[in-house]
Structure formats: structure tokens, C-alpha cells
Amino acid sequence: MDHSAPSASPAAPFAGAQAGRPGCPLSNLRDKLRRVGLRPTRQRVSLGWLLFGKGDRHITAEMLYDEAMRARVPVSLATVYNTLHQFTEAGLLRQLAVDGSKAYFDTNPTEHHHFFVEGEEELMDVPAEGVTVMDLPEPPEGFEVARVDVVVRLRRKDAHRRA
């Protein structure tokens, strides 16, 4: 199970980045990992590169695993899961529970809400200030509200008509 071919792998936009030029996206990514206390291992940097290199997005472990395979990043699905959870615990990602079967991870960890298109498994951000949450229930004794995630579930109008 040793995948660590010397950096000649095709996955290696990473290879040249050892120099740590300032302003280089890869050294920025390494700094980002270090700032939250994660050692910038090759796998974390490779997966972080795929995750954070394309702007704000919502992704499942399976989707990231597919991207890693296409980019020839040698990781297992278990590593992808672990890395996503490490990034989430470190505050780089936010985990979103949309339905029971899948966890989505959001590369924008700030508080915002989502539209979810049923049947298409697509998550979209609700524009800022698009949701006002009022009259939250009083949390039970000893608890406080950590955050409120609103998922507004959508379906296509025409699909509804056909049903």
C-alpha cells in the first residue's frame, strides 16, 4: 500500500512548490493548514488543493474522492473521509447534514444557509440575509444554540406538475 512514488506523479503541481514562494497558492495552503494546527502532509495538501482551489463549493466525500482519482492523487476513500473531518474540526470546512445518507462539506465555513434541490443532490447558498430565523425554541437546561442551519428544499416546478 505504498503509493508514495517520488514526486514525478502526474498529480504534481505540488512538486515544484517546495520552495515556498510567497503568494504561491500552495504555500498559502500550507500556511492555512499550519495556522489551524494541521501538519501540511502531502495528502492534506493534495486534497486541500482540490477542495479550496475552486472557490466556495459543497462537496461530499465521494465527490472529492472522484476528483482525487481523476487528478491521480493516490488516496483511499477512508483518507478522504478522515481529511474532511480533520478540516472540519479545524474550522476550515463546515459539515452540512442535508439528508441521512450523505454529509456535504462546505468550503465556506462562515454562517450561511442553503437551498437543496431534491433529486439532483445539489446545494446552493442562499444569498446573504435571505433567511431570518426568529422564535427559536429555548434550548434545554445546560445547552446553548451553537448555530442554526436552514436548508430550504427545492424541486423543479415542471417535475412537480408531472407528478
* Interacting residues with Zn ion (CB under 5 A): 106, 125
One-letter-per-residue 3-state SS of 23-86: CCHHHHHHHHHHHCCCCCCHHHHHHHHHHHCCCCCEEEHHHHHHHHHHCCCCCCHHHHHHHHHH
39 vs 147, which CB is nearer to Zn ion?
Answer: 147
Classify residue 129 as exposed, middle or buried by CB count within 10 Å of its CB (0-12, 13-18, 19+).
exposed
C-beta of 150: minimal distance to Zn ion in Å?
11
Which run of H or E residues covers position 114?
strand 114-117
30 vs 94, which CB is nearer to Zn ion?
Answer: 94
C-beta of 124: minimal distance to Zn ion in Å?
8
45 vs 84, which CB is nearer to Zn ion?
Answer: 84
C-beta of 107: minimal distance to Zn ion in Å?
8
C-beta of 134: minimal distance to Zn ion in Å?
22
Which run of H or E residues covers position 162?
helix 157-162
66 vs 125, which CB is nearer to Zn ion?
Answer: 125
